Amino acid sequence: MRPSFTLGIEEEYQTIDPVTRDLRSHIATEMLSQGKMRLEERVKAEMHQSVVEVGTRVCRNVEEAREDLYDLRRQMIHLAKENNLTLVAGATHPFADWRTQEIYPDPRYRQVVKDLQLVARSNLIFGLHVHIGIEDREAAIRIMNSMRYFLPHIMALTTNSPFWLGLNTGYKGYRAKVFENFPRTGIPDAFSSYSEYDNYVNLLIKTNCIDNGKKIWWDIRPHPYFNTVEVRACDIPLRAEETISVAALIQATAAYLYRLHERNQDFRHYSRPLLMENKFRAVRYGLDGQLIDFGKEAEVPERDLIREYLEMIDPVVDELGSREAINGIRTILETGTGADRQLAVFEKSGQDLKAVVDYMAEETAAGLF
């Protein structure tokens, strides 16, 4: 059965004090109850009370996803204002201190903090998760195995976390470095079949490593409850239109790889240690760096690789109806990522991190109203 290639998008936002520009807990019960009245299950709490997550419905195509995501961002911006807060899309806050942040009062999060202690408390990061509908679980594993190669390219396009605790980290995507302190993160190994993956998950459950498959936090995974492949590698981009472009790229990659599989072909698999070399380069340098082309055994500028990548997936783009969204990737190559633009404001403002937060808030609402 051919996959549906439906889209589901989750974004995690910062709730900011408009005066101090610091993170502020969003009066959890009140703001969330208001959000649930308007958006039902499309809004939910995260572990830290200054994080709020939204998720689109299951969307048949990129344009449905755009409409739903834009609506969610608009409504969350309004909801934040009503609670004297500012909504910001950034994968780390430029200067907030995780040690002052409150944990959401939920048994699930209490257990995570109990298990992971300081690692959980310090995990004050904000991501983008993209689900692609792939109903056949064997096809999902094959596509996941092949898509691992492209995760560093996708991560470089979404880098939006250059600051941490008031410091310029020197990384374009520092969120990834914070998150790797969690267990079961990063780019996974390849699996020979879905049953091999299932056996792995069941062994972890049986031996009390995890209580369910949602605690496998890899950069890509078969979702334990939905028939989707979930890409979890990305920083949340500043602009909603950038999120849509990245989601379209992920969808097109899955469709392209499935087309290969239909012909009994496959994209060459590389080992996890090699892929992790490219991941490091992606989060350290973003689009300005070079990734390794393992076929050529050479370093290649990231922007050149992205252009090759776009050419590769081009045959499936019109079939998916995502030409406009995919063209947005070329815009990111020209304008830079959120990290590039944050750093430009930082330098232009005389290294004023509050000016960076103000810029991030403006960008979060750009193109929505």
pLDDT value, residue 181: 87
94-108 pLDDT, tens digit per residue, is: 998 867 776 666 667
C-alpha to C-alpha distance for 24 and 12, rounded to whole angstroms? 15
C-alpha to C-alpha distance for 245 and 234, rounded to whole angstroms? 12
C-alpha to C-alpha distance for 55 and 69, rounded to whole angstroms? 8
**Dihedral pair phi/psi, residue 147, rounded to 5°:** -70, -20
pLDDT value, residue 1: 83
Burial environment of residue 325 by CB neighbours within 10 A (0 to 12, 13 to 18, 19 or more) = buried
Torsion of CA 369, 336, 88, 252, to 10 degrees: 70
348-369 pLDDT, tens digit per residue, is: 999 999 999 999 999 999 999 9
**Which is more confident, 104 or 282?**
282
For residue 217, which of 183, 189, 176 has the smallest C-alpha distance? 183
For residue 284, which of 183, 161, 195 has the smallest C-alpha distance? 161
- How many Cα atoms within 13 Å fall on the side-chain side of residue 286? 26
pLDDT value, residue 317: 98
pLDDT value, residue 27: 55
Token couple for 361: 């808030």
When pLDDT is cut at 50, 70 and 90, the band that residue 119 belongs to is: confident
Report CA torsion sign: 325, 291, 348, 88: positive
pLDDT value, residue 39: 66
Instruction: Summarize the confidence of residues 154-173 as an average pLDDT.
Output: 98
Name the least confident of 20-34, 163-177, 292-306: 20-34
What are the residue ranges spanned by the domains of the chain? 7-148+160-240+338-365
- Considering the chain, what is the average pLDDT of its residues? 92
pLDDT value, residue 43: 73
When pLDDT is cut at 50, 70 and 90, the band that residue 264 belongs to is: confident
**Which is more confident, 39 or 254?**
254
CATH architecture of 7-148+160-240+338-365: 2-Layer Sandwich (3.30)
When pLDDT is cut at 50, 70 and 90, the band that residue 50 belongs to is: confident
**3 state DSSP class of 293:** strand
150 close to 228: Cβ distance less than 8 angstroms: no
pLDDT value, residue 122: 74
pLDDT value, residue 146: 97
pLDDT value, residue 337: 98
Identity at 282, one-letter amino acid code = A
Name the least confident of 62-76, 100-114, 245-259, 283-297: 100-114
Strands 127-133 and 43-45, bridge-based pairing: unpaired
When pLDDT is cut at 50, 70 and 90, the band that residue 338 belongs to is: very high
256 close to 312: Cβ distance less than 8 angstroms: yes
Judge whether residue 272 has pLDDT over 80.
yes
**Dihedral pair phi/psi, residue 226, rounded to 5°:** -105, 155
Residue 214 CA: distances (Å) to CA of 13, 105, 186, 204: 20, 19, 15, 12
Token couple for 34: 């208001």
Q: Looking at the DSSP assignment, which residues form a beta bridge with residue 173?
A: 161
DSSP character for 44? E
Judge whether residue 47 has pLDDT over 70.
no
C-alpha to C-alpha distance for 133 and 60, rounded to whole angstroms? 9
5-14 pLDDT, tens digit per residue, is: 999 999 999 9
Q: Looking at the DSSP assignment, which residues form a beta bridge with residue 298?
A: 293
For residue 229, which of 203, 242, 204, 247 has the smallest C-alpha distance? 247
Q: What percent of the chain is predicted at pLDDT more than 70?
A: 90
